[in-house]
Amino acid sequence: MLGFESEVIGLMPPGRQASSYRAVFLPGIKALKQQDSIVYSSSGFSVGEFVNMRHGEKDISCRLHKLINSASAVSHVELLFYVIDSV
């Protein structure tokens, strides 16, 4: 499930300045028409919710679109879109 380009990011509700959770960002494989996705703690957020991802100095707004896999500890969710905001 984890690819060569996976990265640890901060994950937080919109409007918050500090990262509330850690997540793993998995870039999709465009040749296979896969969307980007994240793996995060199941208790943190729900499918359909808007969240902000923090990667380095960038905040990225996205929507948790489609549940790929879920367990009691973690969820793997496809991202619908994201827009880079300047910090």
Q: What angle do CA 51, 35, 16 make, to 5 degrees?
A: 10
Residue 79 within a domain: yes
Residue 48 within a domain: yes
Residue 20 within a domain: yes
Residue 1 within a domain: no
Residue 87 has a pLDDT of: 47
Domain range for 69 is: 7-85
Q: For the chain, what is the domain count? A: 1
Residue 70 within a domain: yes
User: Model's pTM, two decimal places?
Assistant: 0.79
From first to last of the 87 residues of the chain, give the pLDDT tens digit: 556 788 888 888 888 777 778 899 998 888 888 888 999 887 778 888 999 888 778 888 889 999 988 888 888 899 987 665 554
Residue 2 within a domain: no
**SS3 (DSSP) at 23:** strand
